[in-house]
Amino acid sequence: MRELYPEIEPYRTHRLAVDELHELHIEECGNPDGLPVIFLHGGPGAGVSPYHRRFFDPKRYRIVLFDQRGSGRSTPHAELRDNTTWHLVADIEAIRKHFGIERWVVFGGSWGSTLALAYAQSHPERALGLVLRGIFLGSTGELRWFNELDGGARWIFPERWTRYLEHIPPQERDDMTEAYWRRLDSDDEAVRLAAAQAWSYWEGGSTTLVHDPDEIGNFEEPHAAISVARAEAHYFRNRVFLEPDQLLHGVERIRHIPATIVHGRYDIICPVKSAYDLACAWPEADFRVVLAGHSAADPAIVDVLVSATDALADRYG
């Protein structure tokens, strides 16, 4: 099985003002003359991590990564004004133009897969290929599956669900996302942080195939917890700023683009049904269901992702 490439550091970092409010943190890694790829992180609100650079051969790729609006080192931190799917699509295009890149590979997982599809369908002439993991289409069913009482995830991770549930009084539990949002948007910093950490514990520890219910998760650190929880609640309560089935209907615009779709069979955050629906609408795509959970770090998912980026480098190299 393929493994991640060795750790690398950026050869250049940038600050890009995309409007009067938001400034993005961007880094470039690998080969400045290599095949360009844009990495789209999950969340929304999570930001990029050093291991995200490692899905690409640094000798053959010019790797561009950025923290989306309100995420990571982009500023203002956790800012949700002028922060929608379509603002982020415009940001990706602004980055491409800033670097003078004509066309590039688009790589995204989880929320990043949503954003990759939205971007490619808006700018199909700019995408050389798509590598998508842990598909999330922003549907009502997906949102209720993981975050609401009538969803299914609570039956699989009951230990974590209990903490997520108990943060909200019984009389507000008919709409957990909205109840969390009221706290995440509170004027009281302590209230915001407590809600953010309860929200992030539920999601951030539910990603891997091998599950430890006592593991704190990926987003417990306050800076990350606040941006992830606020951004996710904001996007989810607004149905990800998409029309129903918009990304499935838009597949016709990108069916000619080489694509790999990989999804963990036991992904509890984003059930495999969404990836299946996307693959049915896009029969030309290379669709793989593997023994894994949601995490991009699960070995079976790493194997497919690295193989896919190597294949695109072979194709365009």
Residue 317's contacts (CB-CB under 8 Å, 6 or more residues apart) are 35, 60
- Among the listed residues 57, 294, 298, 310, the single catalytic one is 294
Residues 23 and 98: beta-carbon distance below 8 Å: no
Chain segment 77-100, per-residue pLDDT in tens: 999 999 999 999 999 999 999 999
DSSP string, 241-303: G--TTHHHHGGGGTTTS-EEEEEETT-SSS-THHHHHHHHH-TTSEEEEES--S-TTSHHHHH
Query: What is the model's pLDDT at position 236?
Result: 98
Half-sphere exposure of 186 (CA within 13 A, CB side): 17
Tell which CATH architecture fits domain 12-139+241-316.
3-Layer(aba) Sandwich (3.40)
The residues near 207 (Cβ < 8 Å, ≥ 6 apart) are 217, 218, 269, 293, 294, 295
Identify whether the C-beta of residue 126 lies closer than 8 Å to the C-beta of residue 104.
yes
- Assign 239 to helix, strand or coil: helix
Domain edges within the chain: 12-139+241-316, 140-239
Instruction: Provide the 3-class DSSP secondary structure of residue 11.
Output: coil
Distance CA(164)–CA(149), nearest Å, equals 11
CA-to-CA separations, 283 to 18, 113, 250, 259, in angstroms, rounded: 36, 17, 14, 10
The pLDDT, as a whole number, for residue 214 is 67
CA 81 to chain CA centroid, Å, is 20
pLDDT for residue 55? 98
pLDDT at 117: 98
Do residues 228 and 72 make contact, with C-beta atoms less than 8 angstroms apart? no
Helix (H, G, I), strand (E, B) or coil at 12: strand
Active-site position among 110, 113, 227, 274? 110
Beta carbons of 84 and 241 less than 8 angstroms apart: yes
pTM for the model: 0.96
267, 295, 298, 310: the active-site residue:
267
pLDDT tens digits along 100-153: 999 999 999 999 999 999 999 999 999 999 999 999 999 999 999 999 999 999
- Check if 110 is active-site: yes
Q: Which residues make Cβ contacts (< 8 Å) with residue 201, sequence separation at least 6? A: 160, 163, 164, 216, 217, 220
| pLDDT tens over the chain, length 317 residues | 999 999 999 999 999 999 999 999 999 999 999 999 999 999 999 999 999 999 999 999 999 999 999 999 999 999 999 999 999 999 999 999 999 999 999 999 999 999 999 999 999 999 999 999 999 999 999 999 999 999 999 999 999 999 999 999 999 999 999 999 999 999 999 999 999 999 999 987 788 877 776 666 556 688 899 999 999 999 999 999 999 999 999 999 999 999 999 999 999 999 999 999 999 999 999 999 999 999 999 999 999 999 999 999 999 98
Q: Could you say which DSSP state residue 252 is in? A: G
Q: Which residues contact 137 (CB under 8 A, 6 or more apart)?
A: 114, 117, 245, 247, 248, 274, 277, 278
294 is catalytic: yes
CA dist., res. 258 & res. 157, Å (int): 36
The length of the chain in residues reads 317
